């Protein structure tokens, strides 16, 4: 019987040892499973965050592109509007100096242009219809007033030695003033919108 008791005691001890090993194995498996789940959650969260960041960056790039394209369209539309306005103004001014309302304008344009010449002999060109009024306003150092119907309305003064040319036609003045006038027009358009 002592052998049976010994075998029973060894079996019990072996069963306890197996239970302890199984319990430790289950605990280790549970810990490994929890670690794996935590690592999977962390990797998933990192992947989602990386994807969200990539999508956000892509959306920002697309927004910037769309904003740039919109700005380009607005600038082009404004430029086309300004072109139409200045074209209409140029047409409206085409024969303005020929009008009796602007009798003194050719003289004023001539005086203004001649400010750039200090007694140097000058030739002034203008439309035929303006020749008499320009001659009347021209000082003695103006060598000649030459009719030139290819010119815009206004005058072009040129030093005889070709060192200075002043285009004081209304079209040239409008072109010189266009940047400042464009700003004012766009401000007024913006105020009325």
Question: Which comes out higher in pLDDT, residue 191 or 169?
Answer: 169
126, 145 Cβ separation under 8 angstroms: yes
**Is this model's pTM higher than 0.75 or not?**
no
* Burial 160-172, CB ≥16 within 10 A → b, else e: eeeeeebbbbbbb
Mean pLDDT taken over the chain: 84
pLDDT score, position 70: 87
99 phi/psi in degrees, rounded to 5: -75, 145
Q: Is the pLDDT of residue 6 over 90?
A: no
Nearest to 136 by CA among 123, 145, 128: 145
Considering only residues 145 and 40, tell me which one the structure prediction assigns the higher pLDDT: 145
Mean pLDDT of 34-60: 84
């Amino acid at each position: 019987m002592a052998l049976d008791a010994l075998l029973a005691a060894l079996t019990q001890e072996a069963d306890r040892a197996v239970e302890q090993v199984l319990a430790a194995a289950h605990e280790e498996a549970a810990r490994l499973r929890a670690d794996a789940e935590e690592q999977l959650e962390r990797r998933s969260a990192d992947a989602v965050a990386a994807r969200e960041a990539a999508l956000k960056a892509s959306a920002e790039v697309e927004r910037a592109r769309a904003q740039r394209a919109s700005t380009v369209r607005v600038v082009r539309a404004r430029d086309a509007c300004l072109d139409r306005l200045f074209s209409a103004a140029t047409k409206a001014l085409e024969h303005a100096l020929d009008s009796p309302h602007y009798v003194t304008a050719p003289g004023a344009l001539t005086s203004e242009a001649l400010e750039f010449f200090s007694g140097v002999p000058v030739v002034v060109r203008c439309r035929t219809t303006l020749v008499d009024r320009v001659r009347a306003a021209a000082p003695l150092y103006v060598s000649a007033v030459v009719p030139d119907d290819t010119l815009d309305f206004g005058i072009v003064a040129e030093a005889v030695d070709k060192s200075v040319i002043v285009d004081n036609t209304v079209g040239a003045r409008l072109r010189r003033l266009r940047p400042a006038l464009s700003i004012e027009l766009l401000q007024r358009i913006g105020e009325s919108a």
